[in-house]
Structure 1
Amino acid sequence: MAEPRFLPLPDVATELNVSESQVYHMVRSGELPAIKIGGRGQWRVERARLEQYIEEKYAETAAWVAQNPLNASEPE
């Protein structure tokens, strides 16, 4: 069975291992692209956009790590 193209926010929260309220904030702030559909205005995140978001976060983290190397005095 193919994976669904669009995910509800609770499923996105599960994928990212964060709370639903964190995902809602990410969507409302524009950090994570999403669409609002249906008569009740339910949020959905396209799986491809979620994967792109994750890749962007890996790149941001790698850049941050490169700019903030571990010092010998920092605990691991």
Structure 2
Amino acid sequence: MVLQEEFRRIVKDELARQGMSQSELARRMSVSRPTVSQYLSGKFCPGLDVVEKFFNALGLPLHLSSTEARQPADSIE
């Protein structure tokens, strides 16, 4: 699933950029480190509420745009 892959890429890139461990991220989210690991490995598929928890813990804004979602596939290059 493309969105799940993009979510994992964003979170992993941000963890590396901030020098933050999965353990620290889990602490900030009030979940266990294995739970974070399962989302980042693709074992669990996050819902919007979980994505929001990850982004908040990383200090990232969460922007959703219905305009982007409505673009016809043939107009995306």
| TM-score normalised by the chain length of structure 1 | 0.36
In terms of fraction of residues, the more strand-rich structure is: 1
Greater share of helix: 2
Q: Which structure is larger by alpha-carbon Rg, 1 or 2?
A: 1
